[in-house]
Structure 1
């Protein structure tokens, strides 16, 4: 007879943990593992990374989950390796080989790779892959694909802010390219690699993918799952940063006690402020994040607010000895 499982005593944890997601785990699996390690009550991630991808994955806890959507919209940077001369059913290493073609070494000259990169830089149209979670008639595209069906997909507008392509070799020493790209929400790097391979005349599929930055948050600030697991109990909480790490593009504004109390009830405040699309609002004494908003015609308008209980728990956590 199996021994009963020990019930984990959950606790309020507020903030963001910057995880370097390992290979093979889905974003949700990684989130649930960290949530368990922290014994956190409430958690969410800021957009998925495929199991075959690694890299920056901000995990939000407690009050920080209110700002997770901001990272969904943020530009992201990836480094990918794509094997040349081979296309697959999934556009990555998991699929079956569809076609093999020779690689013309002359087309891998730096000048030509730069010219191809220029073709895919800026506002472009991209057709989503069949192996994706996008839905058609209430059913995910990958469900159609697994059943051997192909359905029509409309091209979507995306933006490639920066793109660099260099010749390299993949893990099997096969001809490949390294793609470093900064792109908008909704970009499929598998599809980008496939399209670049087509432009090079030989086809390509993705072999590896690593997200190196999202919304100004880079790998240098991330912690690995192995590092977290090696720590004891509350030592893991040292890696939970304040929620405003997600608000790097927001202009900070500090309110006095009376205005702060009214702002927290959802009331607009008037002041000598210029129009600003995104502000992070703090209370003066004690200094604490109250929420986010925007300013229009001298009015500070709340968008997302923390609750008084969340603010109290955050302040208690900040004053607790480490």
Structure 2
């Protein structure tokens, strides 16, 4: 009777470690945002991570990934304006609004630059968009794309979004190349479809690349392949510090005594302390002056009052 060999002991799990910062990932085609996040988290062996708004698998470009204390500020990027460059393929309509769907109709393309410019003008400013069925928006706990895959189309309410900039970068029939800066919740696939519908020939999105999220751009970004090829020490060095998410806020520097009070959640009357104050009220990034440590964000209020908002854990510094 043959004896089975004893099973090999599993290698011990490497414990996760606290990692704090922001990775500017240049996402490649084919990766879902969540899969890219899981891969980067595993490579960093990080305890805590989150992304800042999804990119479709067929899209490329900027996907900021937040680790550790940076996740406290990821909501700001979810709310931030986004910038995209896209190729709109005129004359072909697909059921998903992009290259991943089935072709529903084909029409000849005979439009002039003047017609295109006139059409684009209709989509600048505040517009209404009907979210696509092939989206992650949920209805009764299920994403719309699950209904779509089952052949079910649900009524969707139009939503207001704002197109801050819509620029024609080039036209070589049947392809339009556009740059869009827009508010959160804007679907560039739907914008492409709506432009095609207005031109009378229909359209779908052929390529989509996100180039900006708030003040963050692709400058200094890395692809997942590059990140995988890095040594462990290089991966950590590729992260922006946590305050890389806060560069648009003015800085407030606190003494050691005021730092203690701020970290205990106390509102500070900075006008009486001789602290240099931002020119305007609103959100500020707050540091301990003696060592340059980021303490978190605060709200500058009337009369030089600083109220703590989101605090960085002192354990992470």
Q: CA deviation at 1:165?
A: 2.5
Alignment correspondent of 1:136:
139
Pick aligned residue for 2:101 from 95, 103, 107: 95
Pick aligned residue for 1:284 from 285, 289, 313: 289
Separation of aligned partners in 2, 1:108 and 1:288: 56
Unaligned stretches of 5+ residues in structure 2: 1-6, 272-276
Aligned to 1:240, the other structure's residue is in SS state coil
Deviations 1:26-69 (A, max 9, x none): 11111111111111111111111111111111111111111111
Separation of aligned partners in 2, 1:277 and 1:192: 33
Alignment correspondent of 2:40:
34
Alignment correspondent of 2:178:
179
Alignment correspondent of 2:258:
259
2:19–2:47 CA contact under 8 A, matched in 1:
yes
Alignment correspondent of 1:299:
305
Counting only pairs closer than 5 Å after superposition, residues 71-150 of structure 1 correspond to structure 2 as 71-104=77-110, 107-109=111-113, 111-150=114-153
Unaligned stretches of 5+ residues in structure 1: 312-322
Alignment correspondent of 2:189:
190
Rate the CA distance shift 1:25–1:5 in 2: closer, same or farther, 3 A. farther
Aligned to 1:221, the other structure's residue is in SS state coil
Deviations 1:266-290 (A, max 9, x none): 1111122455221101111211110
Q: CA deviation at 1:8?
A: 2.9
Separation of aligned partners in 1, 2:165 and 2:198: 18
Q: TM-score, normalised by structure 2?
A: 0.91
Counting only pairs closer than 5 Å after superposition, residues 263-278 of structure 1 correspond to structure 2 as 263-272=262-271, 273=277, 275-278=280-283
Q: CA deviation at 1:91?
A: 0.7
Rate the CA distance shift 1:2–1:29 in 2: closer, same or farther, 3 A. farther
Alignment correspondent of 1:54:
60
Alignment correspondent of 1:13:
19
Q: CA deviation at 1:223?
A: 1.1
Aligned to 1:116, the other structure's residue is in SS state helix
2:170–2:178 CA contact under 8 A, matched in 1:
no
1:46–1:60 CA contact under 8 A, matched in 2:
yes
Q: CA deviation at 1:265?
A: 1.4
Q: CA deviation at 1:167?
A: 4.5
1:108–1:167 CA contact under 8 A, matched in 2:
no
Alignment correspondent of 1:319:
none
Alignment correspondent of 1:250:
249
Say which is worse superposed, 184-193 or 293-302, in terms of deviation.
293-302
Q: CA deviation at 1:6?
A: 5.6
Rate the CA distance shift 1:52–1:5 in 2: closer, same or farther, 3 A. farther
